[in-house]
Amino acid sequence: MAKKKSKSKMVTLILISVVVVGGGIAAYIASKRDQGISVTVEKVQRRSITQIVSAIGKIQPETEVKISSEASGEVIFLGAKDGDTVKNGQALVRIKPDLIETQLEQFEAAANSAKVSIDAVKAEVVRTEADLKRISELYKKEFASRDEFDRAQSAYQQAQSRYQSSLSEYTRAQSALKQVKVQATRTSIYAPMNGVVTSRTVELGEKVLGTSQMQGTEMMRIADLSVMNALVDVDENDIVNVKIGDTARITVDAVPDHTINGVVIAIAHSAKVNKLGTQDEVTNFEVKIRIIDPEAKLRPGMSCNVDIETETHRDVLSVPLQAVTVRDSVANATPDVVQNGVRTTDDEKVKRVAKHPPSVVFLNDKLKAKMVKVETGLSDRGYIEIKSGLEEKTEIISGSFQAVSRDLKEGSLIKIDTLGKSKWKKTSNP
């Protein structure tokens, strides 16, 4: 009996301990909750907001010429190497025209043969013409037969036909010979403009293929580095904001700690689609930006990052970007409408608003969070324009991101973290 009482007493003690511990934990959590959510605050201020479209691309010269030979053969002279500055008309490459020399000999022989044939056929024309005149006179006086006259006339006509054929053959041979002679003069290649050799892909002794036969061998490239552009790909969602004349800030990995100025001079009308037909399909538009910094030491092919300043709103109300969020509860709280004396919910409006929930900002209302709907405008990397919903110098909750985006509700208790605010300002304003 004593054992049963002891056991019962022990169970009672355990239950009491659990209740006490549980109550302590609950009280601790409640006390922490009562202290409020730690936040940072900031006042609504006026500032200039510049909308920026970011893109990546490559540095390219405005003018770049590919040098190829019209004649095939061996490279026997190279007048420039990578990085050399060349002038218009400077000798760059000379080709030993093995095939052209052979063709030249063949076409010269064909032209000479055609000339000899013309002389021979012309003599025959003269002879048959004289025979025809003689037989014709005899035929008129009835000293020659009709058959003799017809044979003489036929011989003359055939000689004339052969003469015309030989003239055509000689013309063709002369034309072919002229073309080969022109190709022979093009075995020496000269610089078409002032510039810098940005690429040379052949060496002395190499065989190259001429463009007269097919695409031909590219031997070098010459570029005018005095006029450089940044060619960047802009996302289809951002391209509508980019305009000719927009200012751009360009940074190049190879030139650290230096921002290069530029201006948009061309926007592609056709899209560039990567990975066509896949889920990873990306649609971009190429934008050409003229670099207007003459001191920039740039080379073709360098990677670059570009910030295009598309629009600026000056002296507008603004708050930090992370101070603005969305709440589905606000989207669903659409006012009822009265139709025919009956109060009903506008379902279509609810669906429309829920699909695009409004932006909200939390105010510091005596250490309680007050949710306010706002209309936003332009944004930069730190702040966003407020078109309506707030007044200047109103104290809003600016962080943390976790608090603003998830934790805060209408009426939530808050406590201001001044240390967090200074830390946030330090990281957001380098």
C-alpha span between 369 and 36 (Å, rounded): 10
C-alpha span between 46 and 51 (Å, rounded): 16
* Cis before 400? omega within 30: yes
Tokens of residue 50, six digits? 């510049």
- pTM reported for the whole predicted model: 0.63
Tokens of residue 133, six digits? 């005149």
Instruction: Supply the pLDDT for residue 334.
Output: 45
Query: H or E segment at 166?
Result: helix 146-185
C-alpha angle 177-180-186 in degrees, rounded to nearest 5: 145
Phi/psi for 177 (5° steps) reads -65, -40
Where does residue 262 fall: left (phi above 0), alpha (psi -120 to 50 degrees), or beta otherwise?
Answer: beta
Per residue of the chain (430 residues), what is the pLDDT tens digit?
Answer: 444 445 555 555 555 555 555 555 555 454 545 578 999 999 999 999 999 999 999 999 999 999 988 878 889 999 999 989 999 999 999 988 766 667 777 778 887 888 888 888 888 888 888 888 888 888 788 888 888 888 888 888 888 888 888 888 888 888 877 877 777 777 889 999 999 999 999 999 998 888 765 678 899 999 999 899 999 999 999 999 999 999 999 999 888 888 999 999 999 999 988 766 566 678 999 999 999 987 778 889 999 999 999 999 999 999 999 999 998 755 444 444 434 444 444 555 445 545 568 899 999 999 999 999 999 999 998 999 999 999 999 999 998 999 999 999 999 999 998 765 544 454 444 3
Tokens of residue 341, six digits? 């004396």
Instruction: Supply the pLDDT for residue 46.
Output: 95
Instruction: Supply the pLDDT for residue 141.
Output: 80
C-alpha span between 142 and 148 (Å, rounded): 11
C-alpha span between 249 and 237 (Å, rounded): 20
Confirm if 363 and 370 have CB atoms less than 8 A apart: yes
- SS3 label, residue 324: strand
CATH number for domain 54-61+225-310, candidates 2.40.30.170, 3.30.465.10, 3.30.70.270, 2.60.120.890: 2.40.30.170
Confirm if 132 and 153 have CB atoms less than 8 A apart: yes
- Cα pseudo-dihedral 108, 112, 113, 114, rounded to 10: 100
C-alpha span between 203 and 152 (Å, rounded): 67
Instruction: Supply the pLDDT for residue 117.
Output: 82
Phi/psi for 377 (5° steps) reads -130, -130
Confirm if 229 and 59 have CB atoms less than 8 A apart: yes
One-letter identity of residue 45:
Q
Instruction: Supply the pLDDT for residue 337.
Output: 42
* Cis before 165? omega within 30: no
Instruction: Supply the pLDDT for residue 9.
Output: 55
Q: What number of helices (H) and strands (E) belong to the chain?
A: 7, 22
For residue 367, how many C-alpha atoms fall within 13 Å in the half-sphere facing its CB? Answer: 9
CB neighbours (10 Å) of residue 22? Answer: 10
| Site of tokens 């309506």 | 388
What CATH number has the domain spanning 37-51+315-428? 2.40.420.20
**Which residues are 308's β-sheet partners?**
53, 248
The CATH fold assigned to 70-96+187-216 is: OB fold (Dihydrolipoamide Acetyltransferase, E2P) (2.40.50)
Strand 91-96 with 188-190, pairing? antiparallel
Strand 37-43 with 85-86, pairing? unpaired
Instruction: Supply the pLDDT for residue 293.
Output: 80
Q: How far out from the chain centre does Cα 97 lie?
A: 41
**Which residues are 159's β-sheet partners?**
none
Instruction: Supply the pLDDT for residue 342.
Output: 43
Q: Which of 269, 230, 226, 225 is nearest to 247 (CA)?
A: 230
**Which residues are 37's β-sheet partners?**
414
